[in-house]
Amino acid sequence: MMKDQNYKEIAERMEADAFHRGCYLSVLVEDIYDERFWECIIENVKPNLKDKIDFPNPSSEGIRGKDILKNFKNFVRKKIIICIDSDCEYLYSDKVWYLSDYIYHTIVYSKENFQCDYLSLNEICKDITLKTYDFKSLFENISRKVSPLFYLWLLFKKNNWHQLNSLISSETFENILNFEGTPFDNIGDENILYQNIKDRVNETLQTLKNVMDNESWYDSIFTDDIPEIKKRLTEKYLIHEEEILSFCYGHAVLEQFVQPFMIKLIEILKALKKQEIEQALSEASNNVIDNTIRRIENIAQQDIKTKLNDSYKYLIYGTVDNKEMQKIKEKIAKELN
């Protein structure tokens, strides 16, 4: 195991290498896929750093990850910073290493949650179909359905109840939020979706109750522990029950729910747009109607996954507002002034 002095020397070398490349800032991230996300945020806050940011690999073996970056926490400063996913650890632990100057975290679970912001997704729908959708209500309803599991996840993590952690894990949220196979063919079928999620949540809760084999303990969690957690999240972090989806496991939210849901939704909205055009141009020639519909189809050919990969940019560049993104920007602006 390397000593702090070794990591200090590596940090100094990374900073020097960045200088020789003509860069003013070295940024350590968990994965190469995170680089563009953090680069966009930093450049938006500090335009003078555009094309002047270096993303060194902190390990000669090419290994990154949060555990590797933690070794550099004592050597960050204005010229070398760390940017990571929070994994929401700060919500259940008082000993989180990344709550420090020159270390920035996503606040929500991960970068993927920013790709699933309801305002950004609505912008994508407008870009592709020229129609809007009420993602806010959708996500608020889903948040309320999954919130009991999220509160339990925090409780188990906080108390180190390892024997129960496996019952509410990343895989649990992947299963709960899995959209594939959900009957959703029209706007208005959302209640079917909500019921499916609710049923899966209830199944998980019943399994938990059976494993605990102590009804009074199980009941006390819902009468005492969860209300306390909800109150703490609301008062200390301004996280309300209807916002919980933003703090759930990001890959589950994006890959199991948002991506397949968006693909289906775009099909529905595109069909509705065609109907609107046919009605609005009812007295026009078939040629005019066909040409107009063809334009809609051409617009709708944009790749949804590609749009989702960049959807966080709507939040960064101010097209829409997001309070967690704003907090990140404010911290960067304050410390890198």
pLDDT digits (tens, 9 = 90+) for 169-227: 999 999 999 999 999 999 999 999 999 999 999 999 999 999 987 889 899 999 999 99
Q: What are phi and psi of 159, to 5 degrees?
A: -95, 5
Q: What is the mean pLDDT of residues 35-53?
A: 97
Q: Report yes or no: 270 and 300 within 8 Å, Cβ to Cβ.
A: yes
Q: What's at 147, amino acid-wise? A: S
Q: Report yes or no: 128 and 299 within 8 Å, Cβ to Cβ.
A: yes
Q: Does residue 49 belong to any structural domain of this protein?
A: yes
| Rounded (10°) CA dihedral 230, 232, 234, 238 | -140
Q: Does residue 270 belong to any structural domain of this protein?
A: yes
Taking only the tens place, the pLDDT of each residue in 68-94 is 999 999 999 999 999 999 999 999 999
- Assess whether 98 and 201 both reside in one domain: no
Average pLDDT taken over every residue of the chain: 94
pLDDT of residue 60: 64
Q: Does residue 316 belong to any structural domain of this protein?
A: no
Q: What is the mean pLDDT of residues 156-163?
A: 90
This prediction's pTM: 0.93
- Assess whether 169 and 276 both reside in one domain: yes
Average the pLDDT over each of 58-67, 214-223, 284-293 and give the range with the smallest value. 58-67
> Is the pLDDT reported for residue 296 higher than 90?
no
- Assess whether 131 and 97 both reside in one domain: no
Compute CA distances 126 → 131, 293, 298, whole Å.
Answer: 5, 16, 14
Q: What is the mean pLDDT of residues 125-142?
A: 97
pLDDT of residue 321: 79
Tokens in use for 67? 């555990």
- Assess whether 101 and 121 both reside in one domain: no
C-alpha–C-alpha distance, residues 337 and 67, integer Å:
28
Q: What is the mean pLDDT of residues 131-152?
A: 98
The strand pair at 53-54 and 25-29 is best described as parallel
Split into its structural domains, the chain has a count of 2
What confidence tier does 2 reach under pLDDT thresholds 50, 70, 90?
A: low
> Of 44, 51, 48, 43, which Cα lies nearest the Cα of 21?
51
pLDDT of residue 1: 53
Q: Report yes or no: 199 and 148 within 8 Å, Cβ to Cβ.
A: no
Q: Does residue 331 belong to any structural domain of this protein?
A: no
Question: Which residues, in sequence order, are CB contacts of 89 under 8 Å at separation 6+?
Answer: 96, 98, 157
Q: What is the mean pLDDT of residues 245-257?
A: 98
More confident position, 110 or 298: 110
> Is the pLDDT reported for residue 3 higher than 80?
no
- Assess whether 124 and 265 both reside in one domain: yes
Q: Does residue 312 belong to any structural domain of this protein?
A: no
Parent domain of 241: 116-302
Q: Which long-range contacts (CB under 8 A, 24 or more apart) does 183-191 make?
A: 184/261, 184/264, 185/268, 186/268, 187/133, 187/268, 187/272, 190/138, 190/141
pLDDT of residue 282: 86
pLDDT of residue 162: 81
C-alpha–C-alpha distance, residues 4 and 304, integer Å:
45
Question: Which residues, in sequence order, are CB contacts of 176 under 8 Å at separation 6+?
Answer: 146, 149, 197, 200, 201, 204, 252
- What order of strands is seen across the sheet that includes strand 103-105? 53-54, 25-29, 80-84, 103-105
Q: Does residue 243 belong to any structural domain of this protein?
A: yes
pLDDT of residue 163: 82
pLDDT of residue 318: 80
> Of 46, 51, 58, 67, which Cα lies nearest the Cα of 8?
58
Q: Does residue 59 belong to any structural domain of this protein?
A: yes
Kind and range of the H or E element at 54? Answer: strand 53-54
Last residue of a domain, one of 68, 84, 108: 108
Residue whose structure tokens are 């912008």: 123
Q: Does residue 315 belong to any structural domain of this protein?
A: no
Question: Which residues, in sequence order, are CB contacts of 40 under 8 Å at separation 6+?
Answer: 312, 313, 316, 317
Taking only the tens place, the pLDDT of each residue in 314-329 is 999 986 779 999 999 9
26 bridge partner residues:
54, 80
